[in-house]
Structure 1
Amino acid sequence: MRKEISRRQFIEKSTLALGAAITAPAFSQPLFEKSKLMNDLEIHIFSKHLQFLNYNNMAEAAAEIGFAGVDLSVRNKGHVLPERVKDDLPKAIEAIKKVGFQPKLMTSGILSADEKYTNDVLETASKMGVEYYRLGYYKYSENKSIAETISNVSEQLKTLVILNKKHGIKGAFQNHAGLQVGASIWEIHELLKNIKSSFIGCQYDIRHATVEGGKSWQTGLKLIRPKINSLVLKDFKWIMKHDKWDVLNVPIGEGMVDFKAYFKLLKAYQIHVPISLHCEYDLGGAEHGSSTVSIPQKDVFSAMKKDLNTIRRLWNEVE
């Protein structure tokens, strides 16, 4: 059971830790002036990293840390399970509305319009005001060519566009490093180029774009920018592990993502869309969506606040 704490208890337990981790006072500004605080960056915390809290405490934590909202995890092993979406998603969204947030972002495992819970998830989310949802991950088949798989996935996206339009909610295909469909921005471009609809787009992830693109990520960003409807922020670096190179997730600004170059392009391209912050470095299990954490909760909150302030600083350092 996730123990519910009061707003007062949360502030008492977390304020000291947050104050020690940042250069500016954590709660010196009015609680809900997020867009002003973030200088037009609308940053939501991915609720995967707060799954050790119930909905009310999750929302309270996100507000106190300084986020503009919550990117709700609505998928298997998520904060809201697809089979319980009609009952639990309204509860989660009412909790985030209570602290002044608007329910803009949701992360799902949806792959097609005819999956068992797809319609329930999209219909419920739309009714509650969610504007964008991230899709699940498609895999390449050993029995089909890459071109055939791309074509098949594109057809599935077209059917989702119809359902998205019906419910008034927009899908987002995240670029994700690895061997699945959409690791490369060029793959996503192929998937979306013949879909002339704003009801499906790209959730651009600079961490994964840098892993896959190295020094050419800027070309990919320029290519896909007309389709971007949301962003993900996180960082990484390459390390030698067991005699081979591997990726290690790290806090914002401590890795290989060139945030200054990236933010400069976002400003130049005038890309103003909702942003989801992912904290996938060691946070006592919070990075994996655990229901319990092995470190003090205040340390998790402190790390998130540090990432948030680093983003703010880097954003303000570029023209």
Structure 2
Amino acid sequence: MSKPPNKYSRRDFTKLSAMGFAALPLLSFQNPLTSITASTEEQLQIHLFSKHLQFLNYNNMSNAAANLGFNGLDLTVRRKGHVLPENVEQDLPIAVEAMKSHGLQPKLMSTNVWDVNNPVNINVLKTASQLGFTHYRTDWLKYPETQTIQESQAQYAKQAEQLELLNKDLRLIGGYQNHSGKHVGAPVWDLLPILEATKGQFLGCQYDIRHAVVEGGGSWELGLQRIKPLINSIVIKDFKWGIKDGKWQPINVPLGEGMVDFKRYFSLLKTYKINVPVSLHLEYDLGGAEKGRSKLTMDKKEVFNYMKKDLQFIKDTWKSA
């Protein structure tokens, strides 16, 4: 994947880092877990998951997102992402510079961060904080077969407390995404013993309605009601059940063509006064863009049309909900 030729020197980055830390006390930091009482009639702040623009460099990615009408990008700072964790000091400033040049402010990123004892994780968060990011998605967790679920939850709760302390120091807000399957948090309820161990200010839930409906069926509203105090960002995508390779499984589809009742969902978000940053995911067939491929089998103009259509669906449905 080609990237803009200009790069910050280590000396430039040191200056940038110092400026970032100096500016932190001057920033008007607002925690969405305590500010969700803001008017829910306001438009959603919708960010495009940069995984779907992996075929573009930083400048072209930013230009595309801005031209399509997104408020920003949910930047992948993780393995196989737009920014590799081991290169974060060098590459993240370049990505941010490109975003800002097209009017996009750094806010959301998706990471592999969970363990605060991992120096790479710490460096990712410190660098992102210095550059103005406010929210990030954490890594996913799994239940090991060597201990009970309750024992694992107690262990993860302690880790969550440690991560929240780091987030507080850096003025960052982490969100654990509920993801269907055998991940921790697939049934939203099992996140509570873990996340409620924190103070709920700098670590919470990135709520994914698609995965909640896959796992919860008709009871997703109960899960939403229970997890709502911890929601600090949301993911938007849709699916329907279908047979693939001889098995029933969730099939990803464009927004409004699947089983997620977005009008009901958005009406509940308004009722609960939740208006937090949104990350739009497009995981149906986009010629490889849905999988983060660097080369596509579909014309990129067609990919952009799908992105614009899903974005407009969100805006229209939010307005009418």
Q: Same fold (TM over 0.5)?
A: yes
Listed as ranges, the matches of 1:184-195 within 5 Å are 184-195=187-198
User: Which of 112, 134, 139 is the equivalent residue of 1:131?
Assistant: 134
Listed as ranges, the matches of 1:239-318 within 5 Å are 239-318=242-321
User: Which of 69, 77, 80 is the equivalent residue of 1:77?
Assistant: 80
Q: Which moved more, 1:271-280 or 1:163-172?
A: 163-172
1:173 aligns with 2:176: yes
Contact 2:74 2:108 in 1 (8 A): yes
User: Which of 148, 154, 158 is the equivalent residue of 2:157?
Assistant: 154
1:45 aligns with 2:64: no
User: Residue 3 of structure 1: CA displacement?
Assistant: 7.8
Question: Per-residue CA shift, 1:244-284, capped at 9, x if unaligned?
Answer: 21111111111000001001001111101100000011111
**CA–CA separation in structure 2 for the residues paired with 1:128 and 1:246:** 40
Secondary structure of the corresponding residue to residue 119 of structure 2: coil
Map of 1:219 onto structure 2: 222
User: Residue 39 of structure 1: CA displacement?
Assistant: 5.0
**CA–CA separation in structure 2 for the residues paired with 1:3 and 1:296:** 21
User: Residue 49 of structure 1: CA displacement?
Assistant: 0.4
**CA–CA separation in structure 2 for the residues paired with 1:208 and 1:46:** 16
Secondary structure of the corresponding residue to residue 112 of structure 1: coil
**CA–CA separation in structure 2 for the residues paired with 1:266 and 1:166:** 29
**CA–CA separation in structure 2 for the residues paired with 1:94 and 1:178:** 37
**CA–CA separation in structure 2 for the residues paired with 1:93 and 1:183:** 32
Query: For this pair of structures, how many residues does the alignment match?
Result: 285
**CA–CA separation in structure 1 for the residues paired with 2:295 and 2:82:** 13
User: Which of 121, 126, 144 is the equivalent residue of 1:118?
Assistant: 121
Map of 2:64 onto structure 1: 61
Secondary structure of the corresponding residue to residue 117 of structure 1: helix
- Structure 1: 5+ residue runs without aligned partners? 5-37
Secondary structure of the corresponding residue to residue 125 of structure 2: helix
- Name the TM-score, length of structure 2 as normaliser: 0.86
**CA–CA separation in structure 2 for the residues paired with 1:104 and 1:179:** 29
1:172 is matched by which residue type in structure 2?
Answer: G
User: Residue 194 of structure 1: CA displacement?
Assistant: 2.4
Identity over the aligned pairs, expressed in percent? 54
- Structure 1 residues 3 and 147 mapped into 2: Cα distance closer, same or farther (>3 Å)? closer
The RMSD of aligned alpha carbons is 1.3
Map of 1:2 onto structure 2: 2
User: Residue 147 of structure 1: CA displacement?
Assistant: 0.7
- Structure 2: 5+ residue runs without aligned partners? 5-40
Question: Per-residue CA shift, 1:91-145, capped at 9, x if unaligned?
Answer: 1111111111221101001121012311110000000000011001111101011
Map of 2:240 onto structure 1: 237
- Name the TM-score, length of structure 1 as normaliser: 0.87
Question: Per-residue CA shift, 1:36-93, capped at 9, x if unaligned?
Answer: xx95111000000001000010000000001010000000000100000000011111
Map of 2:27 onto structure 1: none
Map of 2:105 onto structure 1: 102
